[in-house]
Structure 1
């Protein structure tokens, strides 16, 4: 393969055998990826027998999209540890994560383009305004900020994080145009300027409300899960285990007992609480595949439970 005189070859011969240009070999040499064995009397680069295999490895790594700095680290590990592979595994994993993000961004862009393509001409300006405000793939930080401002300020960090996992929907990796539109509307909902003089939080969040928000939200999570099962089955709101769990959450947070009087008081309080139904409607549209039954959300579960409570206390009053 190499000239028998000294076992070395020049840059042109190495490039020809590897199927690359001389410029490519020089590029990798200048960056330390392809060490020279020697220089000729005229200053020309000379390479040893191992250069061809190394050049092919460099080309393979670069074809996978790995940057030069990562290729350098992989080769250094190969030289020092006889192919331990840790650096290569980390680099490949990082490249896969980056590629996944790029693919997700492309899918969101495609769905956004289809959304504009499919809408009526008189809707296009509004659609473009909505989707133009959202990154691709979308960031959920604005949704998290909305809830952090809405939740009780004294709420423990663990309970807050658990609630955010439920309240902030994860955008689908391969969305349909309707899901892109729903997320864009959700983003507009949480970033719109605040208006009006009414209450912005439930009474339980105020200074005179519950002093145990962690107990309240942990109990509500259980109640919402139970109600969600009923919603998936298409069941109408009614008293039962789900409602008992719902009321227990508030009773425990207020350090009181579940009694008929407390249920009437709670029904009145919840009736006066501010509503953010639109948020939960949009969340359901984001997480539900088009054509499928709506997925239950914390909001729809809360509405189901409140309707059961309201019906029960109304019957009691009657």
Structure 2
């Protein structure tokens, strides 16, 4: 009987045990309150910092898409650090969690390697701005007018009004040619005249045509030169500078004016002698090699 009574008394919590349990509960409650405060205050600070960064990027004339992306990226990183900090306040070891996050990030990165490449190049294109919306460019092997640029791809409008969606990774890994970046473009027209024509008079006539067109810039000075002496022709080259938006119209108008002068002054423009060639049993006319 005495043994049973002793065991029963031992099973009843003592005042010291109750006090220890109470202290543990209070400590857990304090840790929980501390973690919640860290989360609430930290989220408020993270939001303010992310919005401040977005505003600073906007004042620096960064692309709105890029500034929005960087704002969300900064906010996401701060929230991840905040969660790890809050769990540390609760007493959860942070090292295993950081390792797990790193492993998950590596797995996601490998799975989305192509998409992340496009995303990275989208950020670089938005930061360094090799072209802007409205520029006529060759990018990723495609030539057209930039319609839009986002973080994953670039929309190019082709000369025949088709749309080409080019991944930013392809654009970043290839040469980019911007026809509008410097504001002016040089054009070049080539044609040949016969040896019997007065070359100086032809050059003077064409020079007057260039000078009469106000769209052709005076500096750098335009001009007409003899490029080469072929078998049957004296080859001339006309070079001049225009604004980027006038280049094609100026070339078209000059070709028309040159053709009118050729007809009016009876200048001979020859394409060289011809010869008969037999291709797969069918006679055809082909330019004769010099």
TM (normalized to structure 1)? Answer: 0.23
TM (normalized to structure 2)? Answer: 0.25
Q: Which has the larger radius of gyration?
A: 2
Q: Would you tell me which structure has more helix in proportion to its own residues?
A: 1
Determine which structure has greater relative contact order: mean sequence separation of CA pairs < 8 Å that are 6+ residues apart, divided by chain length.
1
